[in-house]
A = this chain, B = another copy of it.
């Protein structure tokens, strides 16, 4: 453990910063000093932005996204196609898809994946809400955009099961060669999928 090297206020700042992903004790000290050096341009505004985020950010009761309004901007956007729901594991996956510009429909954030070993069951995920949204009748297609991991695929199968009695179309993301990817570096599973799901020129 690092010894106390500064006053309790600075120490507390360092300890809290060290809990951010990507920052360890050493880089948290560097970040704290950077903030202190840039008191007016960075520390003050960041403190304000965090206060605003803390007091205003809520989880969307419909889709599980985070925003300052409930329902969130995406759920409230009438220009979006409400007949398709893209199911993602986390808000960062939602952000990644939004950045790609590939999705102009609505989302549903599960908040994780089923993981019996970690004690995560269906009730710990935002699944009941998804069944409700699908049952409302407006939804025609559910795209299961979960990660291509064991837990992700288990979760996808579970959701497929519980939605099987509905009329909704269930689809999943294509497997294949990433854009810019080199075949030599790809695993066999990806290559097999890319061959099987080949498309015509």
Q: Which residues of A are in contact with B by a Cβ distance under 8 Å?
A: 2-3, 5-7, 9-10, 12-13, 16-17, 19-23, 27, 29-36, 39, 42-47, 49-54, 56-57, 66-69, 73, 90-92, 94-95, 98-99, 101
In the complex, the chain B residue whose C-beta lies closest to that of A31 is B20
| Distance, CA A69 to CA B13, complexed state (A) | 16
In the bound complex, do residue B66 and residue A10 qualify as a contact, i.e. CB atoms below 8 Å apart?
yes
User: A34 to chain B: which residues have CB within 8 Å?
Assistant: 20-21
In the bound complex, do residue A7 and residue B46 qualify as a contact, i.e. CB atoms below 8 Å apart?
no
In the bound complex, do residue B3 and residue A49 qualify as a contact, i.e. CB atoms below 8 Å apart?
no
CB pairs A–B below 8 angstroms (11 shown): A5-B94, A6-B66, A7-B69, A10-B57, A10-B66, A13-B46, A22-B23, A33-B90, A35-B50, A47-B47, A47-B50
Contact A7:B68 (CB < 8 A) given known A53-B36, A91-B33: yes
The listed residue (B2, B7, B36, B47) touching A73 by CB distance below 8 A is B7
User: A90 to chain B: which residues have CB within 8 Å?
Assistant: 33
In the bound complex, do residue A67 and residue B6 qualify as a contact, i.e. CB atoms below 8 Å apart?
yes
